[in-house]
Amino acid sequence: MSAYAALAEPHRRDILDLLRGGERSVGELVARLDISQPGVSKHLRVLRDAGLVTVRPEGRVRRYALSPAPLAEVDAWLEPYRAAWSARLDVLQRHLEEHPE
C-alpha cells in the first residue's frame, strides 16, 4: 500500500499524529484512541507496510515510531497545491484589509 492510500484513513492519521510525540506501544495508542486493540494493530500493520512507521521490540512490547521518509514524498506532491492556496489566501487577506467590515 502506498503512503497516500494509508493516509486516506482518518484513524491512521490519528495514529501518526500520536507517534509524532515519540514511540508508543499498541496499548498506549489504544488508550488514546477510540479503536479496539485489534483495530489499532490492523492500522499499524498498514502503516508499517506503507513505510510510515517502524516497530522495535522491547521485551514483550512492540514500540512503534513515525518514519518520516515517505511523508517527504507526500509533502513534495502537495507543494504545488500549497503554493496555489497561498496565493489565494494572500488575495483574500488583501481584500479583508481593504474592506474591514
Helix pair 10-19, 37-49: axis angle to 10 deg? 80
- The tens-digit pLDDT sequence of the chain (101 residues) is 788 889 999 999 999 999 999 999 999 999 999 899 999 999 999 999 999 999 999 999 999 999 988 888 888 888 888 888 887 888 888 888 888 87
Whole-model pTM? 0.78
